[in-house]
Chains A and B, each alone.
Chain A
């Protein structure tokens, strides 16, 4: 199990490093439209004659730079919420009811709405993806804190007059982090898919920035005559997804399918 997680992490790091090396937005060259893969263009060229390998690598970096902040903010949010849940005066039930109402606003919907208000943008995408995850994070933290709050060590420490923050840091947070970590990886994975879908629709990252979704949108009309335009981004997306899935299922401390 541990080994599976390690393989997943190595795959992700390799993909990220390779993308850093190869990434380029490419220059349009009218004479080199839709060339099939060759030594010079390992993934062929696109409808405007740009090198596809460089654009795919750029797209991977864009995906990562959106999914990473979303996951990090989600973890921080989870820690803050958990601390709030551990304070006895916090209105937990009303808060959960309020956050549950956001369950009916999935990230795609929210992102499309924000897009209708003021156009595409990276920051807006990050906001939409993060806000869409709040109900799940809140539920997860709540169910963990219900257990941790009535656990022996934290009750003992509290009764001996140890401060709330200290009890939270030493007796709750270490047991919470593995769950939040696993959740963050699945949020990372979901964010990459959602970003690709939104960019495919033209409502994700701004059109001048290459992204996996917009490359695939350009590939849609020529997918039968230039199958490499679909094949390469698809393989990369699948590899990223499988690597992340290996990390999630390899994290044996937590039960990922239970929520």
Chain B
């Protein structure tokens, strides 16, 4: 399974904007199932841009999104922000959905259960037409091989060992293998202009 992204105007575009992925944030499958059993219609997933951030340990989401879903945090974690003082932030158990292509080039949605740390605000990268509502940190990247082609403005998130039927996994158990990644197609794309 592979997701291929491309930022226009290389190499400056990728330098200024960073690797952006179109994702959808949604309820964790266990949560969604329970709500349906309780005759509750879960809120629609929220689509938006997420920045791949290899400098971030955790994965973050603009906090209004889990609030829109009516989610309760599952714990708090101390996070160090600009002030360099630890501040407790809520953690939400949710799912991140992204488009990925399989070996045959068939594009489907892959769902990854993830712990998302609530972030108090969004930000707008230079030249981007919409705000970034999530950061995909190293816990999320543990699912993938991440290929970054600075000169061409392209990047790839490759998950060669994903179960084809499900297409996703859990942040805690994701591992990728580089050797197999080269065999995969390059159909699923995110294109973001400056």
- Do they bind each other? no
